[in-house]
Amino acid sequence: MSRALVTGGAGFIGSHLVDRLLAEGWEVTAFDNLSTGRHEFLGQAAGHDGFRLVEGDVLEDREALAEAMAATDVVFHLAAHADIRFGVDHPRRDLEQNTIATFNVLEAMRGAGVPRIVFASTGSVYGEPSVHPTPEDAPFPVQTSFYGASKLAGEGLVAAFCEAYGMRGWIFRFVSILGDRYSHGHVFDFVKRLRRDPGTLEVLGDGTQRKSYLHVEDCVGAILLALERAEEPLNVFNLGNDEYCSVNDSVGWITAELGLDPAIAHTGGERGWVGDSPFVFLDCARMHALGWRPGVSVRDAVLDTVRWLTANEWVLEAR
Amino acid sequence: MSRALVTGGAGFIGSHLVDRLLAEGWEVTAFDNLSTGRHEFLGQAAGHDGFRLVEGDVLEDREALAEAMAATDVVFHLAAHADIRFGVDHPRRDLEQNTIATFNVLEAMRGAGVPRIVFASTGSVYGEPSVHPTPEDAPFPVQTSFYGASKLAGEGLVAAFCEAYGMRGWIFRFVSILGDRYSHGHVFDFVKRLRRDPGTLEVLGDGTQRKSYLHVEDCVGAILLALERAEEPLNVFNLGNDEYCSVNDSVGWITAELGLDPAIAHTGGERGWVGDSPFVFLDCARMHALGWRPGVSVRDAVLDTVRWLTANEWVLEAR
């Protein structure tokens, strides 16, 4: 039996990973400060003997983190400040919660002798890429967001720790992930705003931004498959869908699913906000070579998310 | 007249930059904690009306940094922990002094409305590149050192600040810089050890590592030329020589210049230490396109450095 520590284990992706690990017989510690994570997401895990939740902060509680590391085989470091859009209002937040916190996790691993780390990075590290679909060895990117910059820094730290101390690392550059327990991002915002005002919907940018989305179950499956099959000291993988859609497509699916026909007000411009990439589409050939394929289309990932949000309105209320 | 703030202005490269800026009519504030910077390097600057030194630490003294920024046109951020070799002994040092400190400088600039930053990065951000000579848009690199990772993070922050707040940035990825006032690195180590024991010299690695070196006067000239001529919001330049040498070449030049013939003891292996890149050679076509060419060969850069160290033995004593 293997022991996992999942930082951000009460969050959207983290809690799905916790469930999957428990189902596969791992012992799992979730480490979460519950700032955006939720007890509700751990309802299934809580009943499991092999599970425990440690409430702690990867930035502030270095002692608790060190203790939680004991006898761990793999750290899944998912805790992060994941809101790319508001980086310009709080640039230090991304530095602290994504870069310095990742350093803390790696140092705690080194102290406890934990040999393997899975790191949740982002396709945002490619900035506005010149190549689509974008492969992992795309031309050296220029950062356009504090979020991307902070995750790029985290990747660099993971790589340097692996090189220096013989750890092994799996870095995943995600597109936006959708599905049950999704609790921030554009689908969340649209559904929430349409509940208040079903007649109009403001869309950031001109709506032609092209994006790829992956369902959280596909995401978690890919992580565990790569952990099993990718054997390098450091393994870097894009993780996204084989297709993309426009923001306007996504808006159409969401409003149709809700049975609404709002007036759409585009704010205009190629980008929705500073750091928004007009075209996100990752080349996932490396993951495909391991035998992985996404099972849920972009459209179904959006629709599943709308249905879950509609069935779980407390999530919309809480923000 | 323009006003410059040079962090690390009492250091090796920083003090040369200060001298050049003063000679060209700038007002210059050097901001330095004198941890590796030296009053002696500012002997020429000290006599100049347009110069002042502020003793302060970019990591700790955020207030002093903010004050020093007032009415500044360009920040040249050269303060750093520049010793790549010992990163594995002190991983937090690179994070703090190169990443977090760079964030502090950028935040202080934002607070004071300083519009332009020059950032001293490093060819180490390429890790062990797959392409030689390595261009700025080489394939997305994997970090192999804490130093490289910390500077990559600094680059990302510079880029994100430029994108978010309309600053303009000039990022330079240096090879190793040599010349007067050089006070750490392999030439320093070799000369220092040969003074103690002229009969033997230990060389890290197998001596076949290929490296490029640039003279500090060429480096400073390139920075000021690019600042004048490169007009993008963010400008990224490699800065190195048109040629490279092996470590064994360099050892031969140094010992011949000193009139010594020591027994050479290689420690063996392709790399001298964790994070040492066996082949550093940067493609500087972007700088060439601006009309810049290095004036000092790799060999002359090494020899000038040996001569300066020999004439300034106090530098060798002090460490």
Per-residue three-class SS string for chain B: CCEEEEECCCCHHHHHHHHHHHHCCCEEEEEECCCCCCHHHHHHHHCCCCEEEEECCCCCCHHHHHHHCCCCCEEEECCCCCCHHHHHHCHHHHHHHHHHHHHHHHHHHHHHCCCEEEEEEEHHHHCCCCCCCECCCCECCCCCCHHHHHHHHHHHHHHHHHHHHCCEEEEEEECEEECCCCCCCHHHHHHHHHHHCCCEEEECCCCCCEECEEEHHHHHHHHHHHHHHCCCCEEEEEECCCCCEEHHHHHHHHHHHHCCCCEEEECCCCCCCCCCCCECCECCHHHHHCCCCCCCCHHHHHHHHHHHHHHCHHHHHHC
A281 touches A138 (CB < 8 A): no
- A252 Cβ contact partners less than 8 Å away, ≥ 6 residues apart: none
**Residues facing B74 on adjacent strands:** B4, B116
Q: How far is A298 from A234, CA to CA, in rounded Å?
A: 29
Q: Please state at what angle helix B12-23 crosses helix B216-229, rounded to 10 degrees.
A: 60
Residues of B in contact with A161 (CB under 8 A): 91
CA dist A41 → A19, A37, A141, A317, B53 (Å): 10, 8, 35, 16, 56
Per residue in A14-60, pLDDT (tens digit) is: 999 999 999 999 999 999 999 999 999 999 999 999 999 999 999 99
- The reply to whether residue B160 touches residue A140, judged by beta carbons under 8 angstroms, is no
Q: Do A145 and B165 touch (CB under 8 A)?
A: no
pLDDT of residue B317: 86
Per-residue pLDDT, A288: 98
pLDDT digits (tens, 9 = 90+) for B125-153: 999 999 999 999 999 999 999 999 999 99
Q: Taking CA atoms, what residue in A is nearest to B235? A: A142
Please indicate if any CB of chain A lies within 8 Å of the CB of B131: no
DSSP-derived secondary structure letter, A58: T
CB contact under 8 A, A137 and B140: yes
Amino acid at A301: A
CA pair distance A148, A248, nearest whole angstrom = 24
CATH 3.40.1160.10 fits A3-177+214-239, yes or no: no
Residues 6+ apart with CB under 8 A from B212: B175, B176, B240, B241, B243, B244, B245, B280, B281, B282, B298
Contact B66, B112 (CB under 8 A): yes
Task: Indicate yes or no: pTM above 0.95.
Answer: yes
The domain over range A180-212+243-318 is classified in CATH as 3.90.25.10: yes
Structure tokens at A213: 């989305």
Nearest to B88 among A143, A144, A164 (CB): A164
Residue of B nearest to A101 (CA): B95
Cβ <8 Å between A157 and B149: yes
Would you give per-residue pLDDT tens digits along chain A (319 residues)?
Answer: 799 999 999 999 999 999 999 999 999 999 999 999 999 999 999 999 999 999 999 999 999 999 999 999 999 999 999 888 888 999 999 999 999 999 999 999 999 999 999 999 999 999 999 999 999 999 999 999 999 999 999 999 999 999 999 999 999 999 999 999 999 899 999 999 999 999 999 999 999 999 999 999 999 999 999 999 999 999 999 999 999 999 999 999 999 999 999 999 999 999 998 889 999 999 999 999 999 999 999 999 999 999 999 999 999 987 5
Q: Distance (Å) from the C-alpha of residue A237 to the closest C-alpha of chain B?
A: 12
- Report yes or no: A117 at the B interface, CB cutoff 8 Å: no
What 3-state class would DSSP assign to A308?
helix
- Considering just the CA atoms, what is the radius of gyration of chain B in Å? 19
Q: Residue ranges per domain, chain A? A: 3-177+214-239, 180-212+243-318
Alpha-carbon gap, residue A303 to A310, rounded angstroms: 11
Residue B165 known to be catalytic: no
Tokens coding A161: 């720790």
**Nearest to B141, CA basis, from B271, B234, B247, B277:** B277
The residue with tokens 């935040």 is B107
Please state the separation of Cα B143 from the chain's center in Å: 18
Q: What does the angle CA B297 – CA B302 – CA B304 come to, to the nearest 5 degrees?
A: 90
- In which region does residue B269 sit, left (phi positive, over 0), alpha (psi from -120 to 50) or beta (all else)? left
Structure confidence at residue B49 as a pLDDT band (50, 70, 90): very high
> Cα Rg for chain A, rounded, in angstroms?
19
Polymer length in residues for chain A: 319
Classified by CATH at the fold level, domain B180-212+244-278+296-318 comes out as UDP-galactose 4-epimerase; domain 1 (3.90.25)
- A172 touches B at CB < 8 Å: no
Could you tell me how many CB contacts below 8 A there are between chain A and chain B?
124
CA nearest B77: which of B42, B46, B107, B113? B107
Q: In the structure encoding, which two tokens stand for residue A186, read together?
A: 């554009």
The nearest CA of chain A is from the CA of B282 a distance in Å of 14
Q: How far apart (Å, rounded) are the C-alpha atoms in residues B190 and B124?
A: 22
* Facing A156 at nearest CB: one of B143, B163, B274: B143
